[in-house]
A and B are shown apart, each in its own frame.
Chain A
Amino acid sequence: MNKKINRAIKKRTNELIVILLLISMSFSGCFSSEQESDQEHDFELNIATYDVYALTDEMIENFENQTGIKVTMTKLGDSGSVLDFLIQNKGNNAIDLAIGLDNTYLQIAIEQGILIEHIAENLENISQKALTPYDGPLAVPFDMGHVCLNYDSNIVDGLNMTIPTNLWNLTEEKWRGKVAIPSPVSSSPGRAFMLATIDYFSNSGNNNSSMGWEQWWSAMEENDVIITSGWSEAYETHYTGGYGEWTEGYIGDAHVTVSYCHSPGVESWFNDNWTKSATLDIPGSSFFQVEYASSVAGGNNIASSLFIEYLLSEEVNSEMPIQNSMYSVLEGQDLPEEKGYLYHSTIPQDSAQISMLEIAENMELWLQKWNNAMTSGD
């Protein structure tokens, strides 16, 4: 009987030792894996971005090979979605770098305390123009362009329609239902264009019977302006002057749309030096947009700053016009002359002058006013 009890005790003791060993092994595993995980985190870079096509396969691979840092990307809808995502995830340390916030959103991100000062070096070559909206340490510009109206020169010239010389022209009967604009509520270019109209109508010279930007939007709504949820719907589905006519779903009911002043140049580049799209350079109706890369608070600042340096290197940033259809921010860089890219791109005469601080302070109010203007006729 005693033997049986002894055997049972021995068996239980052995089992207990094995269990304790297993537990201690798993704990040691935990500690070592925690350390490993910290070390691994040093070599990981989580980027929140939207479809910034400058981030090509080769470019990311080169960065990974040069630094040993593994890049992971969280793709979001657009610049606004990047900001929304960063605010929602504030304090979670899930994202190291935000790419794609523009100067209509950057100040809000700064005020929300989402961004931290980067430690990137060798950024002296950034042009003064790119630094105009913001030149602080919380964000580095990586591409830029002017948001403005484009028109289909085949239709406008061909039908002998007068090219609009001011924004009020677009409220005339001949433009009824022929202008497509992305909504400022859900689109970054749409928001930039709304800002341009605010600045445009604040200049007394552009005022018609002392009416302001809200009245212009109301008049546009009455003139059946096509408001779309995003840029691609306005440009690819509605606009007759672009490559959209070769895509499924193309409607082609708008001869004027909001895009970039260099969009005709992009068209020409992809169409072998041919385009029917042209910039509608109405003074004061464009908005200078700059997109930024920013280190995110709580993230891996070393990895994110290394990526910022890489993104701003001549090798990568000079490719912006080709890869991302935007201007490089580096001094001395311009659009390529080949295939009519530069020739068909326009630098607007006069861009909207609204500071980032002013934008952040008033944006929600302006959006509310825009909403009221668009619904006032109902």
Chain B
Amino acid sequence: MRKVTSILAVTLYATIILLPLYLALQRLVWVTGFSPFEWIDSLNNNYISQGVIEFTVIQAIFSTVFTLLIGIPIAWTLGRYKWPFESFIRTILTMPFVIPSIIAAMGILTIVGHQGLNLRTNESTWWWTLIVSHAWFNMALVIRFCEPVLSTLDPELEEQLRLLPNGQSRFSRLRNLWLPLLTPSIIAAACMTFVFSFTSFALVRWITVGNNTLESMMADVSSSAGIKGYMESTSKIVMGASVIQFSILLFSLWITSVIQRKRQAKLPQSSPLHSQKKNSRGWLILIPAIGFALLPLISVGIGSFRIRESIDDEIRFRWGLEGWYLAFEGSYSFPPLIDAMLNSLGYAIITLFVALPLGYLLASTIHDLENKNKRMARVLDIFTMLPFALSAAMIGLGVLLGIIKLDVSSAYNFWPLPSLAHIMLTTPFVVRIILPTIRSLDDKYDENARVLGIKKFKRFFKIKLPLIKGSIIIATIFTLAMSLGEFGASFIVARNSDWTTLPLLIDSWRAKPMKDPLTSPASNAVATVLMLITMALFIFAERFRTNRDGGMF
């Protein structure tokens, strides 16, 4: 029975991921011919793609290093010491990661723009603005990877080390205890930060204007990819960029997978309550960190009330609620905020009902295989992370071709369709959250219950579920939040339909020429609603999170 469910889960996931990929590859190869060197060469031969690989890789490396520099001190302060409102602080520091990047870009541009620090006119600041923005977006990864290790390490271990010759100085303790202990978490966080910076779209597009990542460059040309006899050069560019992106990211994900497996607790752990002490100087790190996380979000909220007006040849700003009224009322081009919110919530719930069981089954299958066939387990582990490595342009084309192969009219009228994109994106996160918990479960509980004659389902509900409850709830909240904030994949799937989600509505508002003074406040109003929902979900989730659950989040 278990084998059947495992096979079903793997087959379903493989179909969701591989079918669009297969369709896209088949079409692009048909258009361009099978000529990998020509695909990659086309990146150098086209004005639009020249220098894109170098820019993508270098900015991703800089972003990763800077994120670690910011994230590690915060994780240390948060993990090693006791703080009031700890779960709230953790929520705030996690928020940037689940906020749609288009909101992040708007918030950051408001801060550095002419109304704020006025750095935009100096082109040399763009690069560092991007690196700092990526650090803002990804610091939650470093915190969430490192903090559980720091907060649950038995304090006696450090005390014992102090007595040894190799542990008497702070530096030697760092070298002999903390560094070996934290290195796997840091490398795993670095790899994931690299992946997300590498595939950055909105932040790059808005901040380092004129420079593209492979992902944002493909978005510019991908609509004409896959058409035989028309603009075939774009098909070559998409193939070349996708192959390079896939190779680099798959390598990063492989490292992440290896590291995460090695990260399983091997050192004595204690409750965070025992290992944490107070440290008032830590506020010097936490207060700026909270400010750093909140500032772009607050600026978006404030922006929803600022109305531009022209009086006597002069532009002024005043405060008003017109942006909110307009967002709630909507128009034919822009559905009312409530409609988009209901769509978003509907898709989030469908996503949850598919991604959570699917992710759990995949995580269980990986864990089972780890005991029987380690190589297979590794392959499946990396396979579950595949959506991170695939380009949105490739998936978008595959989904479009898939829809065309199906009954088109019914596909366009099939409301749950955009959930498909959300399931693709959230399932890897569910696996990454649940897998470490399943790995850390002691099999003896289950074996004892089996000896006592307790049936399989009862064993699952009475023994296993209570033990993994924490990570299931975290995965639930994370799936809901990711689905609500998901933009890139929804854009590709939902653009073929009439169903707008909150992030799509924000993008639609932003795409409207800004000459209408209410365009910006209305888009900020929608963004504020999305931020508030996400924040509420995470505050709720933190009540159930224990550091022992480990995992990615």
Apart from A183-B48, A250-B113: 20 A-B pairs, beta carbons within 8 A: A74-B412, A80-B224, A84-B224, A88-B226, A88-B404, A92-B404, A183-B220, A185-B47, A228-B210, A229-B205, A232-B513, A237-B209, A246-B514, A249-B113, A270-B516, A272-B311, A274-B313, A364-B231, A370-B47, A375-B50
Interface contact B511-A232, CB-CB below 8 Å: yes
Expressed in whole angstroms, the Cα–Cα distance for A60 and B334 within the complex equals 13
What are 27 A-B contacts defined by CB distance under 8 Å?
A51-B508, A53-B512, A56-B332, A57-B333, A59-B332, A74-B497, A80-B223, A84-B223, A84-B224, A88-B227, A89-B404, A92-B404, A183-B48, A185-B48, A186-B221, A229-B205, A246-B308, A246-B514, A248-B113, A249-B113, A267-B515, A270-B310, A270-B517, A271-B315, A371-B45, A371-B47, A374-B47
A14 within 8 A of B: no
CB distance from A107 to the nearest CB of B (A): 12
CB neighbours of A112 from chain B (8 A): 230
Q: Which residues of B contact A185 (CB under 8 A)?
A: 47-48, 220-221
B14 contacts which chain A residues (CB < 8 A)?
Answer: none
* Chain A contact residues, CB within 8 Å of chain B: 41, 46, 51, 53, 55-57, 59-61, 72-77, 80-81, 84-85, 87-89, 92-94, 108, 112, 183, 185-186, 226-229, 232-233, 235-238, 242-253, 266-267, 270-272, 274, 325, 364, 367-368, 370-371, 374-375, 378
- CB-CB nearest in chain B for A271: B310
- Of all chain B residues, the one with the shortest Cβ separation from A368 is B233
B47 touches A244 (CB 8 A): no
CB distance from B497 to the nearest CB of A (A): 7
B109 adjacent to A53 (CB under 8 Å): no
User: CB < 8 Å: which of A73, A87, A228 contacts B227?
Assistant: A87
Contacts of A226 in B (CB 8 A): 210
Q: In this assembly, does B46 line the interface, its C-beta being within 8 Å of a C-beta of chain A? A: yes
B315 and A84 contacting across the interface, CB-CB below 8 Å: no
Shortest A310–chain B CB gap in Å is 14
What chain B residues lie within 8 Å of A92 (beta carbons)?
A: 404, 408-409
Residue of B nearest to A370 (CB): B47
CB neighbours of B516 from chain A (8 A): 270
* Residue of A61, A87, A242 most packed against chain B (CB within 10 A): A87
- Kindly state the separation between the CA atoms of A18 and B520 in the bound complex, as whole angstroms: 60
B331: CB under 8 A from chain A?
Answer: yes
Given contacts A46-B412, A55-B333, A186-B221, whether A247 and B210 have CB atoms under 8 Å apart is no
**B59-97, CB under 8 A of A: which get 1 and which 0?**
000000000000000000000000000000000000000
Are B498 and A186 closer than 8 Å at their CB atoms? Answer: no
Contact B209 A274 (CB under 8 A): no
Asked if B277 is an interface residue, CB under 8 A from chain A, the answer is no
Whether B520 lies near A247 (C-beta < 8 A) is yes
Chain A's nearest CB lies how many Å from the CB of B238? 12
The CA-CA distance from A242 to B513 in the complex, in Å, is 11
With contacts A74-B496, A274-B310, A375-B45 taken as known, whether A233 is within 8 angstroms of B332 at the C-beta atoms is: no
Residue of B313, B496, B513, B520 near A248 (CB, 8 A) is B520
A89 cross-chain contacts in B, Cβ below 8 A? 404, 408
Cα–Cα distance between A244 and B230 once the two chains are bound (Å) = 34
Residues of chain B having any CB pair with chain A under 8 Å: 45-48, 50, 105-106, 109-110, 113-114, 120-121, 123, 205-207, 209-210, 220-221, 223-224, 226-227, 230-231, 233, 303, 308, 310-311, 313, 315, 330-333, 400-401, 404, 408-409, 412, 495-498, 508, 511-517, 520
Closest B residue by C-beta to A267:
B515
Q: Report the separation of the CA atoms of residues A311 and B408 in the bound assembly, to the nearest whole angstrom.
A: 27
- In the bound complex, do residue A60 and residue B332 qualify as a contact, i.e. CB atoms below 8 Å apart? yes
Tell me the nearest residue of chain B to A89, going by C-beta.
Answer: B404
Residues of B within 8 A of A364 (CB): 230-231
Closest to A269 in B: B515
> Cβ of B333: which chain A residues have Cβ within 8 Å of it?
51, 53, 55-57, 75
CB-CB under 8 A for A57 and B331, given A248-B109, A249-B113, A364-B231: yes
Q: Which residue of A lies closest to B47 (CB)?
A: A374
A56 CA to B223 CA, complexed, in Å: 26
- Check A249 against B412 for contact (C-beta < 8 Å): no
Contact status A93-B121, CB under 8 Å? no
User: 6 smallest A-B Cβ distances: which pairs?
Assistant: A248-B109, A57-B331, A57-B332, A374-B47, A92-B408, A84-B223
Chain B, residue nearest A246 (CB): B308
In the complex, A251→B123 CA distance in Å? 8
Bound complex: CA of A271 vs CA of B404, how far in Å? Answer: 46
CB distance from A349 to the nearest CB of B (A): 27
Q: Are B120 and A250 in contact (CB under 8 A)?
A: yes
A55 touching B332 in the complex, CB below 8 Å, given contacts A81-B223, A93-B408, A229-B220: yes
Q: Which chain A residue lies CB-closest to B407?
A: A92
Among candidates B47, B207, B210, B226, residue contacting A375 with C-beta atoms closer than 8 Å: B47
The answer to whether B110 and A248 touch across the interface, beta carbons within 8 angstroms, is yes
Is there contact, CB below 8 Å, between A272 and B310? yes
Contact partners of B313 in chain A: CB under 8 A: 271, 274
CB neighbours (8 Å) of B121 from chain A are 251-253
State the CA gap A77–B123 with chains docked (Å).
28
Task: Indicate if the CB atoms of B515 and A248 lie closer than 8 Å.
Answer: no
Give B300's nearest chain A residue, CB to CB.
Answer: A248
Known: A248-B110, A249-B206, A371-B46. A270 touches B515 (CB 8 A): yes
Which residues on the B side are within 8 Å of A247 (C-beta)?
514, 520
Chain B residues positioned under 8 Å from A85 (CB to CB): 223
Partner of A244, one of B50, B231, B514: B514
Give the distance to chain A from B451, nearest Cβ to Cβ, in Å: 43
A111: shortest Cβ distance to chain B, in Å? 10
Q: In the assembled complex, how far is the CB of residue B217 from the closest CB belonging to chain A, in whole angstroms?
A: 9
Instruction: Tell me, in angstroms, the Cα distance from A99 to B330 when the chains sit together.
Output: 22
Give Cα distance in the complex from A244 to B308, angstroms.
Answer: 12
- Residues on B with beta carbons closer than 8 Å to the beta carbon of A56: 331-333
Closest residue of chain A to B107, judged by CB?
Answer: A248
Q: Are A72 and B498 in contact (CB under 8 A)?
A: yes
**What is the CA–CA distance of A270 and B330 in the complex, to the nearest angstrom?**
21
Interface centre among B220, B330, B401, B508 (most CB of A within 10 A): B220
- A74→B47 contact, CB < 8 A: no
A73-B334 Cα distance, complex, nearest whole Å = 11
- Nearest-CB residue, chain B, relative to A371: B47
List the A side residues contacting B514 at CB < 8 Å. Answer: 236, 243-244, 246-247
Q: Which chain A residue lies CB-closest to B110?
A: A248
Q: Which residue of B lies closest to A363 (CB)?
A: B231
* Cα of A246 to Cα of B498 in the assembled complex, Å: 31
Compute how far the CA of A93 lies from the CA of B514 in the bound complex, rounded to whole angstroms: 35
**Chain B, Cβ-Cβ closest to A236:** B514
Partner of A251, one of B45, B120, B315, B496: B120
Chain A residue nearest to B230 in the complex (CB):
A87
B523 smallest CB distance to A (angstroms)? 10
Q: How far is the CA of A229 from the CA of B212 in the complex (A)?
A: 10
| A88–B233 CB distance below 8 A | no
Whether B110 pairs with A266 at a CB distance below 8 angstroms is no
Question: Which residues from A are CB-within-8-Å of B209?
Answer: 228, 233, 237-238, 249, 251
In the complex, which residues of chain B have a beta carbon less than 8 angstroms from the beta carbon of A94?
408-409, 412
Cβ–Cβ < 8 Å partners of B227 in chain A: 84, 87-88
Hey, which chain B residues are within 8 Å of A75, CB to CB?
333, 495, 508
User: Taking each of B224, B408, B498, B511, which has the highest tally of chain A beta carbons within 10 Å of its own beta carbon?
Assistant: B224
Among A76, A81, A250: residue with most chain B CB under 10 A: A250
- Docked CA distance A370–B230 (Å): 17
Smallest CB separation, B237 vs chain A (Å): 10
CA–CA, A228 and B211, complex, Å: 10
Q: Are B408 and A186 in contact (CB under 8 A)?
A: no
